[in-house]
Structure 1
Amino acid sequence: MSISFDKALGVHQHTVGVRAKRAETLASNLANANTPGYKAKDIDFQRALNAATSEAKVGLSRTDGRHISASTQVMGEQKYRVPTQPDTGDGNTVDSQLEQNLFMQNSIEYQASLDFLGSKFKNLSKALTGN
């Protein structure tokens, strides 16, 4: 009897990847808070999760028949965020306090996803070893 990791791990295997991508985006926003003309970006978590959990894959082209075929799942795309503060004159739309709050919330949710995955693997290990 084979184990289907997709069924065993559920959505949590995908949420970790999406949350990691969002953390990179939010960290980039924070790093560029004082960069003139920088526009804050974000990822729509629900849309990215739907893309990650769907079977929609992007095929990679092969230039030789001996190459191994590969595909990659489409992750959430970055979109510009609507500014929440008035323009300061330099064209930067990053609100540092908002970015810090979103980054902290994303970090907590990322850790929760890791905890869920850890418990799933622990239960799988128990089922396989009987301990």
Structure 2
Amino acid sequence: MSERLFGIHGTALQLRSQRMELLASNIANAATPGYKARDIDFRAALAASENGQSIDQAQAGAMRYRRPVIASLDGNTVEMGVEQTAFAENAVGYATTLELLRGRVDTVKRALRGE
């Protein structure tokens, strides 16, 4: 029922949350030798989810390792500018999706009250 009520927005919010955790992990490991930065291809994960995969399966299938523009000597592939930009972009998408869900919830509340 929640999928019919909230549409794709509930799934999108979960994927954005998981992506936020992954990007935060990349940033936290910027100085860890050999750490490989990862990201989720959000569109691919969302499309896989729409095609019947679970959120976890969709995320795993859309997981990508970053290729650094400039390789580091210690094998770490985190580039802070890239990670911070991706984090900010994802945060905006998360906030937008959350607002869309709030709008849907408010609409349902008004309908239940008969307004």
For 1:71-82, list aligned pairs within 5 A. 74-77=57-60, 78-82=63-67
How far 1:73 sits from its partner (Å)? Answer: 5.4
Segments of structure 1 that go 5 or more residues without pairing to the other structure are 58-71
Which residue of the partner structure matches residue 103 of structure 1?
A: 87
How far 1:26 sits from its partner (Å)? Answer: 0.4
Match status 1:15 vs 2:12:
yes
Supply the AA of the counterpart residue of 1:76: Q
Which residue of the partner structure matches residue 104 of structure 2?
A: 120
Mapped partners of 2:91, 2:103: distance in 1 = 18
Mapped partners of 1:73, 1:128: distance in 2 = 33
Aligned residues: 113
Segments of structure 2 that go 5 or more residues without pairing to the other structure are none
1:8-67 Cα distance to aligned partner (Å, 9 max, x none): 21110110000001001100100000111111100010111122233235xxxxxxxxxx
Supply the AA of the counterpart residue of 1:55: G
Which residue of the partner structure matches residue 42 of structure 1?
A: 39
Mapped partners of 2:26, 2:45: distance in 1 = 19
Q: Choose which of 45, 52, 65 in structure 1 pairs with 2:49.
A: 52
More helix by share: 2
- Identical-pair percentage: 38
How far 1:97 sits from its partner (Å)? Answer: 1.1
1:86-123 Cα distance to aligned partner (Å, 9 max, x none): 22211111100110111011011101100000000000
Mapped partners of 1:42, 1:88: distance in 2 = 19
Rg bigger for which structure? 1
Which residue of the partner structure matches residue 63 of structure 1?
A: none
Please tell me the root mean square deviation across aligned C-alpha atoms, in Å: 1.6
For 1:28-39, list aligned pairs within 5 A. 28-39=25-36
Mapped partners of 1:56, 1:100: distance in 2 = 29
Supply the AA of the counterpart residue of 1:74: Q
Which residue of the partner structure matches residue 69 of structure 1?
A: none
